[in-house]
Amino acid sequence: MSYDQSAYAPPPRITLVIVDDHPVFRQGLRNIFAVEDDIKLLAEASSGEEALRLCRLLVPDVVVLDINLPGMNGLQVTHQLKAEQVPTAVVLLTAYDDFEQVLHAMRAGAAAFCPKDIEPEALVDVVRQVMRGLYVVNGEVYTLAELKEWLNASVEAATGPYMVDPSEHFVPLSAREMEILEYVTRGKSNKEIAQTLGISHQTVKNHMTSILKKLDVRDRTQAAVYALQRGWVRAQDKKP
């Protein structure tokens, strides 16, 4: 009598990449997942650019990704992975936990949004949930249909029921818009940004108009404060 060996094979392990620029916190994440038999850590990174490279190369099931990273931030990485249709589920971690941040993160394509003070057991459970195709927002678990319903209701609640088109608000910033916003936080003028990026002054103005509309702020100063308060850009980071 023969037996189907595959019927007795252990289930595949969840492949994982962790990304945080603080070595101590990254070590903590490594320790959390090291004791889980169903999770295999493939690699770790300390920047958004490295995270993007590793996810393209290794295509892990899940990436646990800090939003506040030097250079390319976690939202930019998430947006780019989704644009390239990399199937990795993104679990975003942040110390800047607020309602608008959640909306931007989930609309950028994140599978989960968690505060950095989340309990280790809860974080492991989040990774398992998103591996099943579910979505987790601050401890609440949603199917895709439920997430869309929650997002629509949340955007309307944040923008008001009388807004002409609430879908125009909380749309993720494009990679170029995020780059321009970073230069704005450095105090660069539209003309200086245009010269640095090699684009026209009018193109920068068009991007700024879009940024202000998406962030629902009045001017570039408010846009800069918005980005800094949410950890999208670091005050100490330098652009050439």
Q: How far apart are CA 189 and CA 199, in angstroms?
A: 13
Which tokens is 132 given?
Answer: 């099943």
Residue 220 above 80 pLDDT?
A: yes
Q: What are the sequence ranges of the domains in the chain?
A: 11-150, 173-229
Is the domain 173-229 a CATH 1.10.10.10 member? yes
The band of 159, judged by pLDDT with boundaries at 50, 70 and 90, is low
Q: How far apart are CA 48 and CA 63, in angstroms?
A: 12
Which tokens is 129 given?
Answer: 């949930």
Task: Give the pLDDT mean for 154-165.
Answer: 57
CA-to-CA dists, residue 67 to 18, 41, 87, 168, 200, angstroms: 12, 20, 19, 23, 30
Task: Give the pLDDT mean for 110-118.
Answer: 93
- pLDDT of 1 reads 46
Task: Give the pLDDT mean for 76-97.
Answer: 90
Residue-wise pLDDT tens digits, 197-213: 888 888 888 888 888 88
- pLDDT of 76 reads 86
Percent of the chain topping pLDDT 70? 85
**Residue 212 burial (CB count, 10 A):** 16
Is the domain 11-150 a CATH 2.40.110.10 member? no
Residue with tokens 């800094």: 228
- pLDDT of 114 reads 93
Per DSSP, the three-state class of 1 is coil
- Fold matches, 11-150 and 173-229: no
Residue 229 above 80 pLDDT?
A: no
Percent of the chain topping pLDDT 90? 42
Residue-wise pLDDT tens digits, 27-86: 999 999 999 999 999 999 999 999 999 999 999 999 999 998 887 888 889 988 988 999
